């Protein structure tokens, strides 16, 4: 017999719901099993910990206390724990103590650690001391001993761990990561993010809130989302994987300028980009891309044979060709042997790509994980005021933020950007002028006049529930 508040009850764990009903069949409690956290048995008392989702998308821990015969309580406890057996039990936690307001360690100790302890989760905690350290950690860490990786920091720390994990998987599977056409093997080990950075964009995308305790609870609940990444190659070498945004031109220059003022802390991201906008520059480029949808035809301008600046936002399609692709390793999804290539050229302010595609929903641009294509947004000649207006709409996630004549959109699976009229120094064998990529907040200086970007679908798993 099981009791709730002196009432004898019947408990059911069927249909994805835990229900507690009186003998008269009056429903007293109903909990979705996916929101169960832990059951704790103390002789005849059984405390069930679970979470509820509030209107602001934050999760809150609640408890339900049952009691009864020791044998019945033990049986119910065993049934609940059996249902929760696939939840994370062992985690590698990587903390960046310098992220954001430098509260990473405090957030872990005050918020994350008690919740992990409540659910009986063991954590191997590592505090980083330098950039790129997560990559070094994951090179040789015994991943078979853990159920996931958790980052306590900002988007940058997540991206470092994502890069380290993908690199480790490719090494273990003998994938040649330096070939820009090679498809990579997806990582099955999920990564969780506890926000302690400046932006915390990915957490906001996932949960609809930047609440740290909500992020921890999503990790403990065990659900995960498959997410895309983009690889960036230059000169036959992998530069990085991008999980959020890859910006060339204006956003590359902005991030480079921000890095000069790290002493300002997070404030620099609000101040420095204004100066970067005022000195924005046009860059002559040729973009060569593979369409993600072969049925779609790119808009063309006919009869123009020379490179010009096009204020209306379209670029000159210079040619079409078919390019042979490299086969990936066994066990990886192979792409078509031959794909049609489109080439367009013109002068641009920016070429930007989002690994997490943004789509309109309920009057706002909302994230969509694991899509089958990339959107490449190319910004052409425009007035400063129009450019500022467009970027303001992007920041505010307005659905018409890309509906400008000077912004062209291409849905692709991969693309190449070639710098026209860029010269390479004979002495250093690098570009004489500085051109930068903003890869998830990391500044990459280009050394050669072209780079390749490729979509890798559902390459990583992130703890969370993007559907809310």
Report yes or no on whether pTM surpasses 0.85: yes
Q: In the prediction, which pLDDT does 339 show?
A: 61
Handedness of CA 239, 244, 247, 252 (dihedral sign): negative
Q: Which residue has the higher pLDDT, 329 or 93?
A: 93
Kindly tell me if the per-residue pLDDT of 215 is higher than 70. yes
Q: Smallest Cα–Cα separation from 65: which of 4, 142, 117, 110?
A: 4
- Asked whether the predicted pLDDT for residue 333 surpasses 80, the reply is no
361 burial level (CB within 10 Å; 0-12, 13-18, 19+): exposed
Alpha-carbon span 375 to 423, nearest angstrom: 29
pLDDT confidence of residue 299 = 41
Mean pLDDT of the chain: 88
pLDDT at 301 over 50: no
What average pLDDT does range 95-106 have in this prediction?
90
Architecture of domain 2-83: Roll (2.30)
427 pLDDT band, cuts 50/70/90, is confident
Over residues 89-117, mean pLDDT: 94
Quote the CA–CA distance of 110 and 389 in Å, as a whole number. Answer: 41
pLDDT at 421: 85
CATH class of the domain at 90-228: alpha beta
Lowest mean pLDDT among 12-21, 24-33, 309-318, 419-428: 309-318
Report CA dihedral (111, 114, 115, 118) to the nearest 10 degrees.
Answer: -170
Confidence (pLDDT) at 189: 97
Domain boundaries, the chain: 2-83, 90-228, 237-455
| Cβ neighbours for 423, distance < 8 A, ≥ 6 positions apart | 431, 432, 433
Asked whether the predicted pLDDT for residue 328 surpasses 50, the reply is no
Instruction: For residues 281-310, give the mean pLDDT.
Output: 60
Tell me the CATH class for 237-455: mainly beta
pLDDT band at 295 (very low <50, low <70, confident <90, very high): low
Q: CA distances (Å), 330 to each of 173, 175, 183, 327, 338, in order?
A: 9, 9, 10, 9, 18
pLDDT of 268: 83
Q: What is the mean pLDDT of residues 21-29?
A: 93
Q: Is the pLDDT of residue 319 over 70?
A: no
pLDDT at 294: 54
- 457 pLDDT tier (thresholds 50, 70, 90): very high
Within 8 A by CB and 6+ apart from 145, the residues are: 90
Q: Give the pLDDT score at 290.
A: 87
What's the pLDDT band for 308 if we cut at 50, 70, 90? Answer: very low
% of the chain residues with pLDDT over 90: 73
The predicted pLDDT at position 336 comes to: 44
DSSP state of 151: E
User: Where is pLDDT greater, at 127 or 291?
Assistant: 127
């Amino acid at each position: 017999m099981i009791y709730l508040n002196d009432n004898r009850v019947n408990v059911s764990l069927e249909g994805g719901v835990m229900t507690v009903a009186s003998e008269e069949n009056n429903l007293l409690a109903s909990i979705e099993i996916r929101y169960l956290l832990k059951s704790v048995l103390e002789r005849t008392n059984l405390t069930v910990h679970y979470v509820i989702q509030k209107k602001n998308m934050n999760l809150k821990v609640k408890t339900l206390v049952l009691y009864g015969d020791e044998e019945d309580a033990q049986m119910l406890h065993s049934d609940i724990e059996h249902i929760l057996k696939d939840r994370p039990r062992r985690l590698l936690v990587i903390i960046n103590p310098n992220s954001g307001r430098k509260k990473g360690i405090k957030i872990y100790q005050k918020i994350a650690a008690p919740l992990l302890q409540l659910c009986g989760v063991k954590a191997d905690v590592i505090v980083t001391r330098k950039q790129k350290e997560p990559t070094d950690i994951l090179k040789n860490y015994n991943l078979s001993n853990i159920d996931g990786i958790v980052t306590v920091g900002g988007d940058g720390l997540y991206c470092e761990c994502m890069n380290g994990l993908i690199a480790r998987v490719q090494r273990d599977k003998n994938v040649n990561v330096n070939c820009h056409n090679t498809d990579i093997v997806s990582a099955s080990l999920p990564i969780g993010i506890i926000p302690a950075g400046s932006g915390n964009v990915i957490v906001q995308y996932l949960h609809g809130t930047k609440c740290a305790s909500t992020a921890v609870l999503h990790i403990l609940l065990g659900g995960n989302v498959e997410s895309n990444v983009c690889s960036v190659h230059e000169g036959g070498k992998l530069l990085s994987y991008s999980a959020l945004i890859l910006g060339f031109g204006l956003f590359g220059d902005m991030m480079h300028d921000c890095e000069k003022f790290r002493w300002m802390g997070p404030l620099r991201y609000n101040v420095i980009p204004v100066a970067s906008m005022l000195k924005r520059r046009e860059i002559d480029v040729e973009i060569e891309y593979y369409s993600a949808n072969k049925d779609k035809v790119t808009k063309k301008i006919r009869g123009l044979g020379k490179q010009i600046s096009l204020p209306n936002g379209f670029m000159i399609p210079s040619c079409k060709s078919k390019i042979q692709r490299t086969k990936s390793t066994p066990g990886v999804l192979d792409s078509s042997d031959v794909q049609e290539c489109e080439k367009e050229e013109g002068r641009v302010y920016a070429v930007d790509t989002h690994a997490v595609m943004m789509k309109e929903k309920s009057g706002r641009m909302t994230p969509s994980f694991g899509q089958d294509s990339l959107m490449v947004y190319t910004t052409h000649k425009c007035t400063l005021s129009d450019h500022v207006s467009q970027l303001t709409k992007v920041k505010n996630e307005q659905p018409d933020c890309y509906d400008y004549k000077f912004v062209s959109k291409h849905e692709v699976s991969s693309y190449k950007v070639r710098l026209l009229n860029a010269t390479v120094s004979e002495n250093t064998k690098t570009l004489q002028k500085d051109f930068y990529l903003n890869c998830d907040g990391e500044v990459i200086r280009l050394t050669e006049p072209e780079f390749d970007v490729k979509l890798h679908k559902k390459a990583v798993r992130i703890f969370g529930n993007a559907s809310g």
